[in-house]
């Protein structure tokens, strides 16, 4: 990225950040997961029009950091429902002011011409919406969390970890400090590596000799560490430690929601987390999200942490885990600078309700004290999801679940629950119907997520009461057949269908991996596990953009998901032609230029850290 891209708005410390980004790019390129060609070209301002954009909205409540920007000479898929592909878009004060084919008409939207960027024929799409993920959990990870979603071999892992280590300051006493750890907790599976296993202690030592390492699969492991990490874990004091570590660095998985070695290790790292460390990981998380083109995230909460080794990667404190995000947003507003080095995403927050008592104290307190759809364009609340009651009481018909569901319905809240098994969607949809018989929910958009096994009769019943389904790709990591979800049947049924990641524990955030799975049915091992249930690429794009507005709801329905005048100016310029690349190259797609509300928040290759 050329220095002119920053328009003279560089801050002290920029040079260090530039080094970090170089490290990220090197690691990613070594991982063979992307192409860098044209990234700089796509971000290059046109001669004579490069002025720093970014006037504030002058008290406009609808937006915070907002910019002025023209993108031209692109193939901009507006997703307006009419198949419009424009070559020029003008974003003024954060909102689309013009979309069409005339650069002159775009410039006439401004009294002073803003920066204009020549897309050189690249394909651009609206910023992608991930309407079911756990980005807040990812932002609270201990250590220097480093996504492994795009690694396809042990060598890729080593290259990415070596680049990460090279970008960190050396540690004076690395086996003593949890904050020196380079970590990956969830979001990947060993089945995506060609060796179909985790790296060993020796392989991690070879890549990262100077920092402790902790790589943990899914919710509860297994996990692996290097020599420095082994020393750390074996010296964790009781009652959390010591953590048993094998000679090969292996740390055994814990049973789900029960204590075990991986739970001990994760807790040992979490116990040292500071607020500043969380904020650092929030920024890293945002940088990664912007680089894969996901600009809006509907977070679906966490299992409520008990701070014991029974906690897994999906546990956090639902009452404090958003605070590091809010702090990063507040700092971004104060600075009022183009956040090119603090890639900003839009966060939407669902509240996970977690009662096991039929008197539903958790749901009652939330519903009485939280405001649905409250906030601003950058961060806004949603409603209930992805649970209405704790995991032992989530099936519909259970008294605790029914009481919470009825409370949500009476409050007029949207609600989302998840279905994982061959039968739970049945009790949930029957539960929705039982609620609807007492309190109509047909206008509230109640959603069942994941639904790998849902059947047409239950789809019809859910559709009748105004529900929708939110489809996630965690089966990509599975070997089970059939893998589901039945994308084709659901899309053809006419029920609202959202696409999302359910990242970042059991699935990757990267939407292009989901696009690969949804359009091919092929899992990480290369096996066809979802025959006859594919979506087209056009459908995948629609369901990650315009169709996902239904799942965001509230004000966002009129603000996001398409590139039309009056909507927020969130644009993703892709590294390659989504409609032309070979199937196996879909997973390598990423953003080379991400614009959020008219501000450039990312350029270049995949960024694993801010």
**Interacting residue ranges for Zn ion, rule: CB under 5 A:** 300, 386, 502
CB 182 within 8 A of CB 164: yes
Could you tell me the smallest distance in angstroms from the CB atom of residue 220 to Zn ion?
A: 15
Backbone angles phi, psi at 92, to 5 degrees: -125, 125
CB 208 within 8 A of CB 239: no
Could you tell me the smallest distance in angstroms from the CB atom of residue 2 to Zn ion?
A: 40
Could you tell me the smallest distance in angstroms from the CB atom of residue 298 to Zn ion?
A: 10
Could you tell me the smallest distance in angstroms from the CB atom of residue 131 to Zn ion?
A: 11
Choice between 298 and 571, CB closer to Zn ion:
298
Hey, what are 484's tokens? 């589901």
Could you tell me the smallest distance in angstroms from the CB atom of residue 300 to Zn ion?
A: 5
Choice between 338 and 386, CB closer to Zn ion:
386
Helix axes 537-544, 511-520, angle to 10 degrees: 140
Asked if the peptide bond before residue 386 counts as cis, ω within 30 degrees of 0, the response is yes
CA proximity to 207, closest of 249, 250, 165, 149 = 165
Would you call 16 helix, strand, or coil by DSSP?
Answer: helix
CB 494 within 8 A of CB 469: no
Choice between 228 and 504, CB closer to Zn ion:
504
CB 49 within 8 A of CB 103: no
Choice between 264 and 500, CB closer to Zn ion:
500
Instruction: For residue 161, give the H/E element and its range.
Output: helix 154-166
DSSP 8-state symbol, 79? -
Could you tell me the smallest distance in angstroms from the CB atom of residue 447 to Zn ion?
A: 11
Could you tell me the smallest distance in angstroms from the CB atom of residue 296 to Zn ion?
A: 16
Choice between 76 and 507, CB closer to Zn ion:
507
CB 396 within 8 A of CB 405: yes
Choice between 135 and 404, CB closer to Zn ion:
135
Choice between 502 and 556, CB closer to Zn ion:
502
> 294-299 and 346-351 as β-strands: parallel, antiparallel, unpaired?
parallel
Could you tell me the smallest distance in angstroms from the CB atom of residue 320 to Zn ion?
A: 19
CB 208 within 8 A of CB 180: no
Could you tell me the smallest distance in angstroms from the CB atom of residue 385 to Zn ion?
A: 8
Choice between 66 and 131, CB closer to Zn ion:
131
> 123-126 and 571-574 as β-strands: parallel, antiparallel, unpaired?
antiparallel
Q: In sequence order, which residues have a C-beta less than 8 Å from that of residue 483 and are 6 or more positions away? A: 452, 475, 476, 521, 523, 529, 530
Per-residue b or e along 135-167, where b marks 16 or more CB atoms closer than 10 Å to that residue's CB: bbbbbbbbbbbbbbbbbbebbbbbbbbbbbbeb
- Count of CB atoms situated within 10 Å of the CB of 121: 12
Choice between 449 and 600, CB closer to Zn ion:
449
Choice between 251 and 417, CB closer to Zn ion:
417
CA separation for the pair 139, 267 (Å, rounded)? 16
Could you tell me the smallest distance in angstroms from the CB atom of residue 297 to Zn ion?
A: 12
Backbone angles phi, psi at 470, to 5 degrees: -120, 110
């Amino acid at each position: 990225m050329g220095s002119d891209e920053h328009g003279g708005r560089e801050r002290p410390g920029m040079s260090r950040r530039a080094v970090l980004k170089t490290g990220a790019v090197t690691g990613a390129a070594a991982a063979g997961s992307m192409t860098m060609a044209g990234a700089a070209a796509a971000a290059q301002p046109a001669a004579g029009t490069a002025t720093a954009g970014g006037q504030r909205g002058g008290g406009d409540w609808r937006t915070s950091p907002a910019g002025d920007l023209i993108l031209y000479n692109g193939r901009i898929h507006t997703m307006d429902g009419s198949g419009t592909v424009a070559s020029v878009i003008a974003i003024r004060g954060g909102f689309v002011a013009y979309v069409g084919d005339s650069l002159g008409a775009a410039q006439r939207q401004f009294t002073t011409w803003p920066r204009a960027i020549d897309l050189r024929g690249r394909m651009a799409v609206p910023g992608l919406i991930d309407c079911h993920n756990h980005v807040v959990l990812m932002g609270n990870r201990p250590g220097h969390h480093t996504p492994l979603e795009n690694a396809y071999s042990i060598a890729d892992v080593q290259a990415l970890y070596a680049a990460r280590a090279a970008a960190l300051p050396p540690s004076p006493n690395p086996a003593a400090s949890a904050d020196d750890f380079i970590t990956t907790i969830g979001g990947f599976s060993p089945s995506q590596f060609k060796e179909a296993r985790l790296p060993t202690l020796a392989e991690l030592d070879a890549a990262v000799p100077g920092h402790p390492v902790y790589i943990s699969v899914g919710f509860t492991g297994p996990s692996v560490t290097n020599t420095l990490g082994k020393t750390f874990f074996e010296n964790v004091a009781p009652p959390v430690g010591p953590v048993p570590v094998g000679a090969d660095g292996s740390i055994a998985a814990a049973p789900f929601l029960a204590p075990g070695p991986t739970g001990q290790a994760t807790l040992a790292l979490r116990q040292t987390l500071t607020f500043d460390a969380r904020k650092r990981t929030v920024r890293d998380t945002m940088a990664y999200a912007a680089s894969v083109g996901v600009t809006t995230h509907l977070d679906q909460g966490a299992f409520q942490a008990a701070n014991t080794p029974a906690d897994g990667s999906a546990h956090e404190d639902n009452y404090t885990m958003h605070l590091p995000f809010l702090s990063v947003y507040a700092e971004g507003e104060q600075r009022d600078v183009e956040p090119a080095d603090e890639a900003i995403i839009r966060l939407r927050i669902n509240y996970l309700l977690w009662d096991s008592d039929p008197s539903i104290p958790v749901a009652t307190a939330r519903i009485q004290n939280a405001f649905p759809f409250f906030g601003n364009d950058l961060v806004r609340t949603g409603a209930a999801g992805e649970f209405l009651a704790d995991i032992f009481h989530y099936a519909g018909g259970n008294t605790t679940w029914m009481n919470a569901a009825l409370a949500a319905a009476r409050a007029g809240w949207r609600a989302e629950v998840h279905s994982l098994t061959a039968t739970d969607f049945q009790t949930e949809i029957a539960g929705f119907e039982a609620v609807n018989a007492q309190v109509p929910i047909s206008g509230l958009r109640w959603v069942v997520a994941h639904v790998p096994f849902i059947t047409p009769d239950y789809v019809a019943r859910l559709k009748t009461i105004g529900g929708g389904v939110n489809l996630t790709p965690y089966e990509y990591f599975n070997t089970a057949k059939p893998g589901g979800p039945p994308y084709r049947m659901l899309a053809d049924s006419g029920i609202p269908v959202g696409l999302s990641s359910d990242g970042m524990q059991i699935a990757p955030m990267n939407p292009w991996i989901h696009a690969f799975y949804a359009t091919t049915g092929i899992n990480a091992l290369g096996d066809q596990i979802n025959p006859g249930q594919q979506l087209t690429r056009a459908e995948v794009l629609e369901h990650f953009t315009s169709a996902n507005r239904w799942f965001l709801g509230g004000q966002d329905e009129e603000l996001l998901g398409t590139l039309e005048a009056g909507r927020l100016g969130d644009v993703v310029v892709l590294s390659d032609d989504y409609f032309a690349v070979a199937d196996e190259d879909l997973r390598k797609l990423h953003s080379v230029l991400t614009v959020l509300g008219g501000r450039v928040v990312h350029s270049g290759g995949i960024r694993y850290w801010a």
